[in-house]
Amino acid sequence: MAAPKITLYVDTISPFTYIAYYILRHDEVFKGCDITYVPILLGGLMKKCGNTPPNRIQNKQAWIYNERLRWAELFSVPMTVPLPPDFPVPTVPIMRALCALAAADAADTATSSDPAGATPQKQPRLIKALDALYARYWADAVAIHHPEVLRETLAGLFGADEAERILTQSTTPEIKQALINNTDAAFDSGAFGLPWLVCTTGTGTSDSKKTEAFFGVDHLGRAAHFLGLERPGSGSGSSVASGKGSVSGNGKAEGGAEGWKALL
């Protein structure tokens, strides 16, 4: 049986997308899914939809501040208590760099072959960068939007020469257009904000498989149910959400969490 598929559209500016990304990466519930991460520009998506940015909606910034901490605690996601520096910040250079990494991953997949028939890890560069950038910004409150910090982060992951190549490629017309295309694809799938997940069932023929989209961390339970995934409290299996978590003074989540109880 083919694995259920999930496409998660991401922008590093969104705390709730970080939480969804962390859960998809670490929770046992999603371990059997074929997951694709797609960098987009949240500001561009909101402009296409005619949405008002959350920080311009009275009272919503305070709600975001508290709600991200609640969900981080439930799922033991490391989260800074103070908002990151200058939040919200422009992420265009970051997202273009991530598009460049995604393009490199796609090129490797198209040309690589393993004599032993092993399946290579999907999107290795992109995932490595997302792990680091999300952790630095949302767990450690590091100003990744500063060019020198972005360069330093990429150099620490891939080496100085490769970091320069990535940053140079991120300014090319092809990569700029890739970010636009990704944002358009999210919009065309129905997205109006992030996190946005497009899920396809793993059972049935190619004609009978079903696809649905879900918005928000609070709809991960519905996404899991739609895909037929076993969740704590609804069947066997384990999860990062296996206890009661807390967020410490330095923003590090401690212990487990009861996230799936909130989603059932």
DSSP state of 104: H
Q: List the 211-215 sheet strands across, edge first.
A: 34-39, 5-10, 196-200, 211-215
Average pLDDT over residues 212-217: 98
Run of H or E residues at 214: strand 211-215
* Three-class secondary structure of residue 36 per DSSP: strand
**Residue 103 confidence (pLDDT) above 90:** yes
Taking the domain 5-263, which CATH number applies?
3.40.30.10
pLDDT, tens only, 18-35: 999 999 999 999 999 999
Q: What is the pLDDT of residue 33?
A: 97
What's the pTM value of the predicted model, to 2 decimals? 0.88
pLDDT, tens only, 224-245: 999 999 887 554 334 444 434 4
Distance CA 106, CA 238 (A): 32
**Residue 204 confidence (pLDDT) above 70:** no
Amino acid at 65: Y
**Residue 254 confidence (pLDDT) above 60:** no
pLDDT, tens only, 124-166: 999 999 999 999 999 999 999 999 999 999 999 999 999 999 9
Confidence of residue 214 (pLDDT cuts 50, 70, 90): very high
Q: Which residues of 68-88 are buried (b: 16+ CB within 10 A; e: fewer)?
A: bbebbbbbbbbbbeeebeebb
